[in-house]
Every structure is written in structure tokens, then in C-alpha cells.
Amino acid sequence: MNAPNFIIAGAPKCGSTTLFRYLNPHPDVFFPRIKEPGFMIKEYYQGLSQDSPNYQRQLEYLVLNAESYSTLYDDINCKILGDSSISYLFQYEKAIANILRYSGSDTKILFILREPIGRLKSQYQYIAELGFEKLDIKDALEAEANRLSKNWSSIYAYQKQGLYAEGIKAFKKAFVNVHVMFFEELIAEPDVQMNKVYHFLDIPSNDLGEGSTFNKSGIPRNRAIHNFLMTKNPVRTAFAKVMRSFISEEHLLLFRDKLRGMNQKRNSGIEISNDLKQTLKDFYKEDQKELERLLGRTLPWTA
């Protein structure tokens, strides 16, 4: 079976899309067009409840069959074969078992992490942007445990996916080649951080072009335009096929990002109360201490 030898396994809304966009043009790196196939936690996705509001949409973007997953990497002559499925950290036990089974213990594992409260807010805003979250952020957090107990998608694990230490520890125990980086540092010094990634992958450095962040969350001005850009549909598929005759896949994604940003309301960031912020700080405190012990360094947002 064909399988990747490199996994981006960080949490959602931590900068994995920015990292993916930096790596994807590299001549020694290959990612399939399906950016997040999710195959290494196929058992988790197969057990999701159909009551989860995003159930049908999520199935459109997943590859849960071994033969179909193998096909993604057919006839690819590239040093680095990648899979950038961000929920692998959240479901680390299943992910580790399957990566060992299909890719082997020498697979390179990369995590990109982010200050957990900022990550949480961005994830909530993204799900609201997609139209799958109707509760305000406080009520959504209160509903989280109940939703997850009913096997709703991990997109509703706003708070829980900010717990990093246990999963990182398990991955570091199972794999020799593990690299942990941080969203805040990637944005502040992209060339420095990406050179560390290139060294980790044992490939030459590559020009990053214009530094930017991608997949920014925001509330859409026009829901119909947003749905056209972000949801699979025959018109969008046909349009993309025509555009690929003139521009690269990378430039097509940049074009979509630009249109999406133009359709987002300004100053649409999510605000939370000081009391809720303190509650969340207390919730993450021990996990962050453990993460610092595991990595032997101060986290960028606590420095």
C-alpha cells in the first residue's frame, strides 16, 4: 500500500494551512489534492453520528478506504509524501496505531500549535462561518461535552482540542522523528521556522514568496458567496477545472482565499468575557506546564 512518510498532525486553527501552503510548492514535497484525508483516524470518522450538523459535508472531504487512500500516492516520485490531517492529535491513540501500521515508525511527524484560547476562538468563528454553529461561544462551550458524548464531530471540541501535552507525549514515545513548532513563531519569523522544517525533512530550503497567513476565519457578508467558495458544488468544480488550465493549484487557492477575505465582515472577531477567559486559562494551565516539560522550553505565549 502507498502511504505518506510525513504527517502534519497539529490541532485545527493552529496554522497548518499556512504551513501546508509554504511546503506544497516545494519540488521534493507532495500533498494530495485532498488536503485532510483523515484516513489515519478512519475508525473515529466512521463512528461519527449522522446528527452532527456537518456530517454530510465532512464525508465529502475524507478518504476512509485503504485502497482509495493508497491511490492518492500512486506513481508519485517525490522524497516527501505528506498528509496534513489536523485531527490526528485529538485522536492520537487511533492515529498512532494506524500511522505505525500503514506508514511505519520512521514516519516524520510535525505539530504546529497555537496559544489555546486564541485557537479556540478561531475554531469557533470558523465553524460559525461555515454555518454549523448557531450557539454563542459561551453556550457552545457549555454544550461541548454533551455534543462529544453523542459522537458529534471534533469540530465541536473547541476547548478540548487545546489540550496538547498528552498527545504530543504519546507521539514522541511512538516516533523518533517528531518536530513541534508554533503558529506565533511561524508568523513572526517564517523563514527561520521554515528552515527548521526543511532541515527536519532533510530537503533544501525553498523561497516562501510573500509571507502570509491562510484560511483566516471570519463572518461572511454574503452566505451564498461563502457557500460557493467553501462547499463542493458542480459549478465550483467546473470553474476550478477551467482555471487550472491557466494557473497553478497554489494560485487557485490564493485566489479563493482573496475572494473569501473580501467577503468577510471587518472586525468580526469573537470576544469573550474576562471571567470566561480566566476559566479557560485555569483549564489549560497544567497542560501547558506539562507541554513545557516535554519540550524543554518556554511556550511562546507564556514567555
DSSP annotation of 120 reads H
CB 268, CB 219: distance < 8 Å: yes
Compute the distance between CA of residue 16 and CA of residue 86 in angstroms, rounded to an integer: 7
What integer pLDDT is reported at residue 215 of this predicted model?
Answer: 47
pLDDT at position 259 is 62
148-172 tens-digit pLDDT? 999 999 999 999 999 999 999 999 9
Question: Is the predicted pLDDT of residue 265 greater than 70, yes or no?
Answer: no
- Is residue 251 very low, low, confident or very high in pLDDT (cuts 50, 70, 90)? very low
Whose CA is closest to 257, among 191, 289, 210? Answer: 210
CATH 3.40.50.300 residue ranges in the chain?
Answer: 6-214+273-295
- Predicted confidence (pLDDT) at residue 112 exceeds the cutoff of 70: yes
CATH code for the structural domain at 6-214+273-295: 3.40.50.300
CB 156 within 8 A of CB 147: yes
pLDDT at 55 over 70: yes
What is the per-residue pLDDT across 114-153, written as a single tens digit (0 to 9) for each? 999 999 999 999 999 889 999 999 999 999 999 999 999 9
**Spatial distance between the Cα atoms of 103 and 233, rounded to a whole number of angstroms:** 33
- Residue 258's pLDDT is 56
As a whole number, the mean pLDDT across the chain is 87
